[in-house]
Amino acid sequence: MREWHAAAQESAGMMVLPVKRRILIVDDFPTNRRVLREMLRELGHEVIEAKSTTEALSLISRDVVDLALVDLLAPGVGGPALCCILRNHSATQSIPIILITDTPDAENEAIGIAAGADDFLVRPMRTKVLRARVQSVLCRKSVLDSMDEAETVLFSLAQSVEARDPALGQHCQRLALLSSTLGVAMGFSAPDLIALHRGGYLHDVGKVGVPDRILFKPGRLTEEEWRVMKQHTVRGEQICGGMKSLKSVLPIIRHHHERWDGSGYPDGLRREEIPLLVRVLQIADIFDGLTRERPYKPAYTAEHALQIIQEETAAGWRDPMVVEAFMDVFPLFSNGDLTSRSSLQALALSLQEQNGWRVEESAETAAPFQHAPISEAM
Ligand SMILES: [Fe+2]
């Protein structure tokens, strides 16, 4: 077993087996239902079937359903209308729905998404893609289900912070997936993966208190401005600190700007004083920052980003063990479209399959590299 893997296992504990979810297939063709059931078998979820939307509604009224895979033309009211019905009732509005059709048709897809479908798939589907989509929506539902109302408000706040800066795109979402995927590769426990996932969304929530004139200042920050900017770590911890359920995320929020050599902030932690989850999230954060276009730089290739991460590690800023783990999975990170939720989920699944793991859950202004880490978040 690799050194980093052993250390991560020791730190994070054993893997946690997934909770079984119930997936409802709604399709009048037995062959379609059988094919879907076969494709989903490896995921280990319970699969139930309905031949019509009427039967589906009857099943949903009796049983908990975690995901519905619905044929666009399912007998009864049809797939889009079933979406509308489920979305308009409080008891069923959070059930994820994936619509499936035989013919690619942008208009139908638009109607389905407008009706409330979470995703749209066209037959024939590749097993890996279907599984990735299914796990993706189940993961999202799992996060939402585990939040209480106050948490939901905090996540909304974090997203509103991100929305202030169009250049970030969906940085938090990508970071949540990238860091938890790296966590999967390092053999983290499900609770740690969830902490990474939530940390991806919440790490910069404290920026809600940073004025726009500082956050978006194109030039160098003054000493006073820099002091205000650095406070976002502590402020974020304060904002989330009252919530027991976010306890494991607080170190990520407070320490995501610490550096391996002790030159980071707010506490100047060094080496293993910086929690492992934080060190993992940092690498994912840097990689995403480097591979995305920003007003002050182009999007670097994955290879260029890796080179910079290695240079920063040689300079003493990053944990060599985590970077080594990242390099192990880098070929997977560097292949495909890293902006896509489903491709990242597919990556996580691929890692799980390769290693026989089963898990439930699954940036910012830069100064020139010679002065500071090029992608390091403020
Ligand atoms: Fe930050």
Q: Is the confidence at residue 359, as pLDDT, over 50?
A: no
CA of 367 to the centre of ligand 1 (A): 14
Q: Tell me the pLDDT band of 185, cut-offs 50, 70 and 90.
A: confident
Choose from 178-192, 234-248, 338-352 the range with maximum mean pLDDT.
Answer: 234-248
CA of 235 to the centre of ligand 1 (A): 11
Rounded mean pLDDT of 224-244?
A: 90
Among 119-133, 150-164, 232-246, 353-367, the range scoring the smallest mean pLDDT is 353-367
Instruction: Quote the mean pLDDT of the chain.
Output: 80
Catalytic pick among 128, 207, 217, 244: 207
CA of 252 to the centre of ligand 1 (A): 10
Q: Which residues pair with 67 in a beta bridge?
A: 23
For 67-93, what is each residue's pLDDT tens digit? 999 999 999 999 999 999 998 887 888
CA of 230 to the centre of ligand 1 (A): 8
Q: Is the confidence at residue 280, as pLDDT, over 70?
A: yes
What local confidence, expressed as pLDDT, does residue 337 receive?
46
Respond yes or no: is residue 207 known to be catalytic.
yes
Which amino acid is residue 323, in one-letter code? Answer: V
Q: Is the confidence at residue 162, as pLDDT, over 70?
A: yes
Handedness of CA 22, 28, 31, 32 (dihedral sign): negative
CA-nearest of 187, 193, 272, 277 to 5 is: 187
Give the Å distances, CA to CA, from 120 to 25, 34, 49, 68, 110.
Answer: 14, 19, 19, 12, 9
Task: Please give the domain boundaries of the chain with CATH numbers for all domains.
Answer: 22-138 (3.40.50.2300), 148-355 (1.10.3210.10)
Which DSSP string do the residues of 218-272 spell out, in sequence order? Answer: SSPPPHHHHHHHHHHHHHHHHHHTT-GGGGGGHHHHHHTT--TTS--SSS---GG
What local confidence, expressed as pLDDT, does residue 135 receive?
81
90, two tokens: 């409080």
354, two tokens: 């390769």
For 75-99, b/e burial (b = at least 16 CB within 10 A) is ebbbbbebbebbeeeeebeebbbbb
Rounded mean pLDDT of 185-211?
A: 86
How far is residue 140 CA from its own chain's centroid?
A: 8
Among 173-182, 242-251, 361-370, the range scoring the smallest mean pLDDT is 361-370
What local confidence, expressed as pLDDT, does residue 4 receive?
41
Q: Are strands 97-101 and 119-122 parallel, antiparallel or unpaired?
A: parallel
What local confidence, expressed as pLDDT, does residue 175 receive?
84
- Alpha carbons 193 and 269: distance in angstroms, whole number: 23
CA of 376 to the centre of ligand 1 (A): 8
Helix (H, G, I), strand (E, B) or coil at 71: strand
How far is residue 304 CA from its own chain's centroid?
A: 23
Q: Is the confidence at residue 17, as pLDDT, over 60?
A: no
CA of 334 to the centre of ligand 1 (A): 24
CA of 233 to the centre of ligand 1 (A): 7
Q: Is the confidence at residue 329, as pLDDT, over 70?
A: yes
Q: Is the confidence at residue 66, as pLDDT, over 50?
A: yes
How far is residue 125 CA from its own chain's centroid?
A: 23
